[in-house]
């Protein structure tokens, strides 16, 4: 049982299990075409949110190079950019990192770090492009999105 609240244009803007006097007094059965459409839209929104969350997690978790995972979160990318700048300006002679697995990593060539930065950019762009494609033709349910237990 669902009681709906309608906006000025007549569209459903809220729904409640119980009647809300003065707010939601119109009852619609679950199999009413408007309720079916609303449920489908809500399911699509959940799937799209799961796709976006998965894409963000992939970018944040980063990439693996030669067996070592490198984080792709904002802080890691900022540190990478600062290290490139420091090496280029001669402020530092070696950029020191620890990979996501705790492995020490040192680089003294700004071009190598710039290549790593470019890989992160290309990877992030590819993930976002795939995410956009999936949002246009979403999986059947949020549970079908990799990494989502919904």
Listed range (49-53, 56-60, 119-123, 131-135) with the worst mean pLDDT: 131-135
As a whole number of angstroms, the distance between CA 144 and CA 150 comes to 8
Q: Which of 11-25, 47-61, 72-86 is predicted with the least confidence, judged by mean pLDDT?
A: 47-61
CA 143 to chain centre: 15
Taking the CA atoms of residue 37, residue 41, residue 47 and residue 51 in that order, the dihedral angle to the nearest 10 degrees is 150
d(CA 94, CA 128): 32
**Between 118 and 42, residue with greater pLDDT:** 118
Residue 44 near residue 145, CB atoms below 8 Å: no
Confidence at 138, pLDDT banded by 50, 70, 90: low
pTM of the complete model: 0.57
Per-residue pLDDT at 120: 86
pLDDT category of residue 56 using cuts at 50, 70 and 90: confident
Task: Output the pLDDT for position 32.
Answer: 87
Beta bridge partners of 24: 20
Mean residue pLDDT of the chain comes to 83
Segments making up each domain of the chain, as ranges: 48-144
């Amino acid at each position: 049982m669902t009681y709906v609240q309608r906006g000025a244009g007549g569209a459903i803007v809220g729904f409640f299990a119980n009647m809300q006097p003065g707010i939601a007094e119109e009852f619609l059965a679950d199999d009413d075409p408007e309720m079916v459409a609303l449920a489908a839209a809500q399911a699509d929104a959940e799937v799209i949110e799961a796709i976006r969350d998965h894409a963000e997690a992939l970018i944040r978790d980063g990439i693996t190079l030669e067996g070592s995972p490198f984080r792709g979160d904002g802080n890691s990318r900022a540190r990478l950019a600062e290290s490139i700048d420091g090496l280029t300006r001669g402020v530092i002679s070696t950029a020191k990192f620890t990979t996501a697995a705790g492995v020490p990593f040192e680089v003294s060539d700004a071009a190598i770090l710039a290549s790593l930065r470019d890989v992160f950019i290309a990877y992030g762009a590819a993930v976002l492009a795939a995410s956009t494609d999936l949002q246009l033709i979403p999986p059947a349910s949020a549970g079908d999105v990799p990494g989502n237990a919904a």
